[in-house]
Amino acid sequence: MKNKIWRGGRAILLAGTLGLAAVSAKAENLADALASAYNTSGLLEQNRALLRAADEDVGIAVARLRPVLDFLIRVQRTYNKAGVNSIVTSRTNSNPMAAQLSLDWLLFDNGQSRLLQEAAKATVLATRQQLLGFEQQVLFRAIAAYLNVLLQQESVRLQGNNLRVLGEELRAAQDRFDVGEVTRTDVALAQSRVAEARANLVAARGALENARAEYTAVVGRPPQNLSPVPRLPAPPASVASATAVALRQHPDIIAAQYAVESNELQVRASSAGLGPKLNAGAQIGLTERLDNSGYSRDATASLTLSQRIYQGGALNAGVRKAMAQRDASRANLLTVQKNVRQDVDDAFVRLQVAQASLAATSEQIRAARVAFDGIREEATLGARTTLDVLAAEQDLLDAETARISAASERSIALYQLLLVQGVLTAEQLGLAVQLYDPTLYYNLAKTAPAGTSKQSKDLDRVLKALGRN
């Protein structure tokens, strides 16, 4: 399915990148950066390992209803004194040895073990959703880093161009001063603006270096010849439709729902633990006789029905604790749902503001450019001062800077809206990566295979492939 999405061009991020690839085969696009972030993220590796640990909890719960075998070898030394005040010691057998194989099998525990199995499975499903949440965070951080590098590169370009323009204005002011058309004050003003432009260019280059460092930390390699942002996905039609998607798909909500289910099962398991238990036992032993005449053999079998009646109040306290944890998870679910709703509202408003700002800055640039060209022409005729020209140049620079910031903000806002809807995942975006399959390890571990079984050896191979063995 993933390959079909990749080849079919259904991926959100890949729209428009084919044309960019034709322009420059060495250019790195946003999809490349996201794929690298997905493949190199330590945060994702950490939480995949935590998911595998949750998978093992299912196997541990399953093993509760399986026989437990213990093997025992005991060597015992016995001393007998000849008298009270005697220091002479006699030994009837210095090292009698005993070997024993015992079996204990829980046959019935009032359903507690089955409930714990189901609770562990619900925890696994919740942990999978938490992993998707971390995946979204990693990808969104990579998107923000990518866009910030582009923004800072454009800022450096604008500041460099501004410095060149102001340098020309300074030379023009100096020439006009030489022929007596302006005063030394005009030249000093131009010199001041040139010095300010140099400082702004240095600051812009510093911001670019910081953006490149963030990109390297997130993506796993330094940025090289980044392509412009591809065509953005269409935003949702309304905040109501965006909220509906978020409430249905957001991994935080789904994880909270599974957490409630797991805690409800834990309450039932704690209550079941107050009931009786039935155990089967068997022992086979081999013991060396004290007179060194050989070994004696014995075998026993038993059925034990037991129920703990009192433990200082700890039994009922455990049930109440499970109930409190269940109530806390229910409250957390409501909180997560409210937070997701608010996040969708905030992201939708942010996108609308960014779109309006982008449209306004485009008009601002047009007007500022017309004003700058006109004022500069009027200055050559003596109708405008050098200060008027410098002010118009600054207005144009501010407008251009505002536009690139607004364009970057619009892209960030749109991807944030995807994030809060829960659809900013590698699978949803159709990234060209090998998707992590959480069911592969779970299907091998959920039955708690014995160490010598083929399934256990398959688990070892999986761990070795993951580089964690």
- Could you tell me which residues come within 8 angstroms of residue 429 by beta carbon, excluding any fewer than 6 positions away? 11, 12, 13, 31, 34, 139
Mean pLDDT of the chain: 84
CA dihedral (396, 400, 406, 409) in degrees, to 10, reads -140
Is residue 45 over pLDDT 50? yes
Helix 314-380 crosses helix 386-421 at what angle (to 10 degrees)? 150
Task: Tell me the mean pLDDT in the region 203-224.
Answer: 94
Tokens coding 343 = 């996040």
pLDDT of residue 21: 38
* CA–CA distance, 76 with 95 (Å, rounded to integer): 5
Q: Answer whether 408's CB lies under 8 Å from 151's CB.
A: yes
Confidence category of residue 300, pLDDT binned at 50, 70, 90:
very high
- Answer yes or no: is pLDDT of 139 > 90: yes
Strand partners, 432: none
Closest by CA to 44, choosing from 444, 433, 458, is: 433
| Rounded distance between C-alpha atoms, residue 185 and residue 384, angstroms | 14
As a whole number of angstroms, the distance between CA 400 and CA 404 comes to 6
Rg of the chain over all Cα atoms, to the nearest angstrom: 37
> Is residue 367 predicted with pLDDT exceeding 70?
yes
pLDDT grade for 323, boundaries at 50, 70 and 90: very high
Summarised one tens digit per residue, pLDDT across range 7-24 is 333 333 333 333 333 334
Give me the DSSP letters along 239-254: HHHHHHHHHHH-HHHH
For position 14, what pLDDT does the model report? 35
Helix or strand run (H / E) with residue 296: strand 295-306
**309 pLDDT above the threshold of 70:** yes
Whole-number Å distance between alpha carbons of 245 and 450: 43
Point out the least confidently predicted range of 104-118, 180-194, 282-296, 319-333. Answer: 282-296
The pLDDT tens digits of the residues spanning 226-279 come to: 988 878 888 888 999 999 999 999 999 999 999 999 999 999 999 999 999 999
Instruction: Give the span between the Cα atoms of 449 and 429, in whole angstroms.
Output: 36
Q: How does residue 321 score in pLDDT terms, banded at 50, 70 and 90? A: very high
More confident position, 335 or 371? 335
When mean pLDDT is compared across 58-62, 190-194, 272-276, the lowest value belongs to: 190-194
pLDDT for residue 187: 84
